[in-house]
Structure 1
Amino acid sequence: MSFLHRHPGLRLAGLLSAPLLWLGVAYLGALAVLLVSAFWSVNTFTGDLVQEFTLRNFRTLLAEEVYRNVTLRSLGVAVAVTVICAVLAVPMAFYMAKVAAPRHRHWLVIAILTPLWASYLVKAYAWRVLLANGGPLDSLFGGPGYGLFATIVVLSYLWLPYMILPVYAGLERLPDSMLEASGDLGARPGRTFRAVVLPILVPSVFAGSIFTFSLSLGDYITVQIVGGKTQLIGNLVYANIGAAGNLPFAAAIATIPVLVMVIYLVAVRRSGALEEL
Structure 2
Amino acid sequence: MSVPLPGTPVAPASPPGRMDRPPGPRRRLAAALHRHAGVRLSLLLAAPLAWLGVAYLGSLAALFVTAFWSTDSFTGDLVRTFTWANFHDVLTIEVYRTVALRSLGVAVAVTLIDAVIAFPMAFAMAKLASPRTQRWLVIAVLTPLWASYLVKAYAWRVMLSSDGLLGWGYGLWATIATLSYLWLPYMILPIYAGLERLPDSLLEAAGDLGARGWRAFRTVVWPLTFPAIVAGSVFTFSLSLGDYIAVKIVGGRSQLIGNVVYDNIGAANNLPFAAAVATIPVVIMLVYLAAVRRTGALESL
- Distance between the aligned counterparts of 2:165 and 2:206, measured in 1? 47
1:5 Cα shift? Answer: 2.6
2:145 matched to which residue of 1?
116
- Normalising by structure 2, what TM-score? 0.88
2:184 matched to which residue of 1?
160
- Normalising by structure 1, what TM-score? 0.96
User: 3-state DSSP class of the match of 2:261?
Assistant: helix
Percent of aligned pairs sharing the same letter: 72
Structure 2 residue corresponding to 1:240, chosen from 264, 270, 294? 264
- Distance between the aligned counterparts of 2:260 and 2:107, measured in 1? 16
Structure 1 residue corresponding to 2:57, chosen from 22, 28, 49? 28
2:27 matched to which residue of 1?
none
- Distance between the aligned counterparts of 1:136 and 1:199, measured in 2? 39
2:10 matched to which residue of 1?
none
Q: Return the index of the structure with the highest Cα Rg.
A: 2
Q: Residues 183-234 of structure 1, C-alpha deviation per residue, up to 9 Å, x if partnerless?
A: 1122222221122101122111111111000000000000011111110000
Is the deviation greater in 126-135 or in 12-21?
126-135
Structure 1, unaligned runs of 5 or more: 138-142
Q: Which residues in structure 2 correspond to 1:1-277 (within 5 Å)? A: 1-137=30-166, 143-277=167-301
Q: Residues 15-60 of structure 1, C-alpha deviation per residue, up to 9 Å, x if partnerless?
A: 1100000000000000011011101101111111011111000111
1:276 Cα shift? Answer: 1.0
Q: Residues 123-176 of structure 1, C-alpha deviation per residue, up to 9 Å, x if partnerless?
A: 111111111221232xxxxx1111111100000000000000011100100000
- Distance between the aligned counterparts of 1:270 and 1:21, measured in 2? 28
User: 3-state DSSP class of the match of 2:170?
Assistant: coil
- Distance between the aligned counterparts of 1:161 and 1:206, measured in 2? 14
- Distance between the aligned counterparts of 1:8 and 1:203, measured in 2? 32
Is the deviation greater in 230-239 or in 199-208?
199-208
- Distance between the aligned counterparts of 2:205 and 2:92, measured in 1? 59
- The one-letter amino acid of 2:147's match is A
1:140 matched to which residue of 2?
none
1:14 Cα shift? Answer: 1.3
Aligned residues: 272
User: 3-state DSSP class of the match of 1:46?
Assistant: coil
- Distance between the aligned counterparts of 1:245 and 1:157, measured in 2? 33
Structure 2, unaligned runs of 5 or more: 1-29
- Distance between the aligned counterparts of 2:212 and 2:130, measured in 1? 24
User: 3-state DSSP class of the match of 2:254?
Assistant: coil
RMSD: 1.0
- The one-letter amino acid of 2:116's match is V
